[in-house]
C-alpha cells in the first residue's frame, strides 16, 4: 500500500509540474506575441534567455521595438539582394528589405528550406504583374514589424553610389553604381576564419553571452568600416580593449569593432565625431582587452570582434534594453564586397585603393554643416 501511495503521489507531483510548466510557457508565448499600442502592428519578441530584464518587454508604456531576432540565412540574403539589383531601374523594382520582410512575416521570422525557390516564383509574379507587394502584404499581421526591424538592420547597405574603378588603360575613373555599398570588415586579400559564435558564453568580469561575431586573423590586418557613419566611441574598454563604435547616419545601427592592435589600434586621423565612408580603413586587428589597464594584450587569440546593435530609442543604447543581432550571415554576405587596401610608404597606415562617394555621407555633411 505504501508503495502505491508513493507512486500516486509521484504521479500527482509530475502532473502539477507539467501543469505549472505549461502555464509558464503559455505566459511566455503570450508575452512574445505582444503589440505596440501606438501602431498595433509590430511583433516584439521577448528577451527570454537573452540575459535581459523584464523592463525590456514593457510594451504598454513604450512604442518602439524591444527585440529583433534576425535569422535571415545567407542564401536568402543573397537571393533578395540579387533580385533587387537585377530589377533596379525596371518597371517593377523588387526592393530587398520589403521582400525579405514579406517572407519573414509569412514564416514567423523563420526561413525554411525551399524559401529561395519561393522567392524566385514570387518575384516572377511581381515582375509579370500578376500581383504586387501591397496585395501580398495587406493581410500579414506582422509585416509592418518585420519591415521596420529589417530596415533597421539592413537600411544602409544597398543603394546608389560612385566608386573608382580601372578603365581599359588601367587609369582610375569614377563609375556610377547601384548595389551593395557596405563592405566586409576585413580588407581584401587578408585571410581570416570564423564560425557562428553568437550567444556563446563569456566569463571575464561576469557571465554573459557573446553578442557579436569574431573573425580570427593576423595582428595588423586592416579593419574596414562596414557602413558609412560617424565615430561615436573611440578608446579603451576593459572588455573590448582598444575599440571603435561607429553610428549609422540614421541612428539605427551601432557598429562595434573591438580588440584592436596594441600601440597602434586606429587610423591616426580618427577621433570622436569623425565621418567615415563604407570601405575606409579605420583600424587594425589585434588582441587587446580583458583588462582595466589600457593597452594590454589579454585576449589569447588575435581577432576582430564586430557587433551590430540596433537602436529604436536612445534608452536602448546602454543597459538592459540593448538589442544585438547575430552577424554571422551578414558577415558571409558582405564577403562579396571587400575593400582593397594598400600600405603607405614610410608609415604604418593602410588606405583604401578605390575611393567611394556615398550620397549618405554628403547628406549628413550638409545637414550638420560639415565639409
In a domain, 14, yes or no: no
Indicate whether 232 and 289 sit together in one domain: yes
Contact 278, 228 (CB under 8 A): yes
In a domain, 174, yes or no: no
What separation in angstroms does the CA of 78 have from each of 17, 170, 244?
46, 30, 28
Q: What is the pTM of this model?
A: 0.82
Indicate whether 220 and 83 sit together in one domain: no
Distance, in Å, from the CA atom of 145 to the CA atom of 349, rounded to the nearest integer, reads 43
Closest of 25, 23, 21, 18 to residue 48, by C-alpha: 25
In a domain, 246, yes or no: yes
Indicate whether 196 and 335 sit together in one domain: yes
Quick one: what percent of the chain has pLDDT higher than 90? 75
Please report how many Cα atoms fall inside a 13 Å half-sphere around the Cα of residue 123, on the Cβ side.
23
Indicate whether 64 and 200 sit together in one domain: no
Last residue of a domain, one of 118, 136, 154: 154
Contact 261, 283 (CB under 8 A): yes
In a domain, 327, yes or no: yes
List the CATH number of the domain containing 238: 2.70.70.10
Distance, in Å, from the CA atom of 79 to the CA atom of 63, rounded to the nearest integer, reads 32
Which tens digit of pLDDT belongs to each residue from 350-360? 999 999 999 99
Indicate whether 280 and 350 sit together in one domain: yes
Neighbours of 11 (CB within 10 A): 10
In a domain, 300, yes or no: yes
Residue 340 contacts by C-beta under 8 Å, 6 or more apart in sequence? 187, 188, 189, 352, 353, 354
pLDDT value, residue 348:
81
List the domain range (segments joined by +) for residue 99: 37-154
In a domain, 1, yes or no: no
Contact 62, 38 (CB under 8 A): no
Neighbours of 353 (CB within 10 A): 15
pLDDT value, residue 111:
97
Residue that is written with C-alpha cell 588603360 in the block: 169
Residues in the chain: 371
Last residue of a domain, one of 154, 172, 206: 154
Dihedrals phi, psi of 245, to nearest 5 degrees:
-125, 120
Helix, strand, or coil (residue 350): strand
Indicate whether 195 and 331 sit together in one domain: yes
In a domain, 18, yes or no: no
- Helix (H) or strand (E) holding 18, with range, is helix 2-32
Indicate whether 134 and 188 sit together in one domain: no
Provide the β-strand partners of residue 161.
177
Which tens digit of pLDDT belongs to each residue from 179-203? 999 999 999 999 999 988 766 766 5
Number of domains making up the chain: 2
Distance, in Å, from the CA atom of 343 to the CA atom of 264, rounded to the nearest integer, reads 14
- Percent composition of the chain: helix, strand, coil (DSSP 3-state, to 5): 30, 25, 45
Rg (CA), the chain: 24
pLDDT value, residue 3:
39
In a domain, 169, yes or no: no
DSSP letter string over 116-180?
HHHHHHHHHHHHTTS--HHHHHTT-TTHHHHHHHHHHHHTTSEEEEEEEEE-TTS-EEEEEEEEE
Dihedrals phi, psi of 343, to nearest 5 degrees:
-85, 135
Indicate whether 147 and 193 sit together in one domain: no
Q: What are the cell numbers at 17?
A: 509540474
Give the pLDDT of the chain (371 residues) as one tens digit per residue: 443 444 444 444 444 443 444 433 333 333 333 322 222 222 223 222 333 333 333 433 468 999 999 999 999 999 999 999 999 999 999 999 999 999 999 999 999 999 999 999 999 999 999 999 999 999 999 999 999 999 999 999 999 999 999 999 999 999 999 999 999 999 999 999 998 876 676 656 566 677 889 999 999 999 999 999 999 999 999 999 999 999 999 999 999 999 999 999 999 999 999 999 999 999 999 999 999 999 999 999 999 999 999 999 999 998 888 999 999 999 999 999 999 999 998 888 999 999 999 999 999 999 887 76
Q: Left (φ > 0), alpha (ψ -120 to 50) or beta: where does 108 sit?
A: left
DSSP structural state of residue 59: T
Indicate whether 101 and 205 sit together in one domain: no
Sign of torsion over alpha carbons 350, 353, 359, 362: positive
- What SS3 string covers 249-269? CCCCEEEEEECECCCCCECCC
Residue that is written with C-alpha cell 493581410 in the block: 139
Indicate whether 197 and 60 sit together in one domain: no
Strands 323-324, 208-209: pairing is: unpaired
Contact 259, 303 (CB under 8 A): yes
pLDDT value, residue 16:
43
Indicate whether 207 and 345 sit together in one domain: yes
Indicate whether 129 and 73 sit together in one domain: yes
Amino acid at each position: 500500500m505504501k508503495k502505491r501511495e508513493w507512486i500516486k503521489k509521484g504521479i500527482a507531483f509530475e502532473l502539477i509540474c507539467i501543469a505549472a510548466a505549461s502555464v509558464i510557457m503559455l505566459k511566455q508565448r503570450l508575452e512574445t506575441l505582444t503589440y505596440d499600442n501606438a501602431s498595433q502592428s509590430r511583433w516584439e519578441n521577448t528577451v527570454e534567455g537573452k540575459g535581459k530584464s523584464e523592463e525590456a518587454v514593457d510594451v504598454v508604456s513604450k512604442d518602439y521595438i524591444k527585440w529583433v531576432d534576425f535569422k535571415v540565412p545567407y542564401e536568402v540574403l543573397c537571393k533578395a539582394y540579387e533580385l533587387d539589383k537585377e530589377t533596379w531601374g525596371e518597371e517593377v523594382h523588387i526592393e530587398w528589405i520589403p521582400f525579405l520582410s514579406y517572407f519573414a512575416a509569412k514564416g514567423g521570422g523563420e526561413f525554411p528550406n525551399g524559401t529561395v525557390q519561393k522567392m524566385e516564383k514570387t518575384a516572377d509574379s511581381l515582375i509579370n504583374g500578376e500581383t504586387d507587394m501591397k496585395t501580398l502584404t495587406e493581410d500579414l499581421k506582422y509585416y509592418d514589424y518585420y519591415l521596420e526591424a529589417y530596415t533597421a538592420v539592413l537600411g544602409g547597405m544597398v543603394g546608389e553610389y560612385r566608386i573608382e574603378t580601372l578603365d581599359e588603360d588601367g587609369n582610375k575613373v569614377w563609375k556610377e553604381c547601384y548595389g551593395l555599398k557596405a563592405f566586409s570588415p576585413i580588407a581584401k586579400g587578408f585571410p581570416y576564419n570564423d564560425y557562428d559564435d553568437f550567444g556563446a558564453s563569456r566569463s571575464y568580469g561576469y557571465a554573459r553571452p557573446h553578442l557579436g561575431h569574431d573573425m580570427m586573423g593576423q595582428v595588423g590586418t586592416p579593419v574596414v568600416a562596414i557602413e558609412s557613419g560617424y565615430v561615436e566611441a573611440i578608446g579603451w574598454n576593459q572588455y573590448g580593449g582598444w575599440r571603435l563604435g561607429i553610428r549609422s547616419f540614421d541612428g539605427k545601427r551601432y557598429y562595434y569593432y573591438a580588440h584592436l592592435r596594441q600601440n597602434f589600434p586606429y587610423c591616426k586621423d580618427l577621433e570622436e565625431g569623425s565621418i567615415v565612408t563604407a570601405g575606409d580603413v579605420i583600424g587594425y586587428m589585434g588582441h587587446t582587452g580583458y583588462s582595466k589597464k589600457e593597452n594590454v594584450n589579454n585576449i589569447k587569440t588575435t581577432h576582430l570582434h564586430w557587433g551590430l546593435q540596433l537602436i529604436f530609442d536612445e534608452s536602448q543604447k546602454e543597459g538592459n534594453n540593448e538589442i544585438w543581432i547575430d552577424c554571422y550571415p551578414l558577415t558571409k554576405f558582405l564577403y562579396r564586397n571587400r575593400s582593397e587596401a594598400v600600405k603607405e610608404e614610410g608609415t604604418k597606415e593602410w588606405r583604401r585603393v578605390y575611393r567611394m562617394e556615398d550620397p549618405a555621407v554628403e547628406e549628413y555633411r550638409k545637414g550638420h554643416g560639415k565639409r
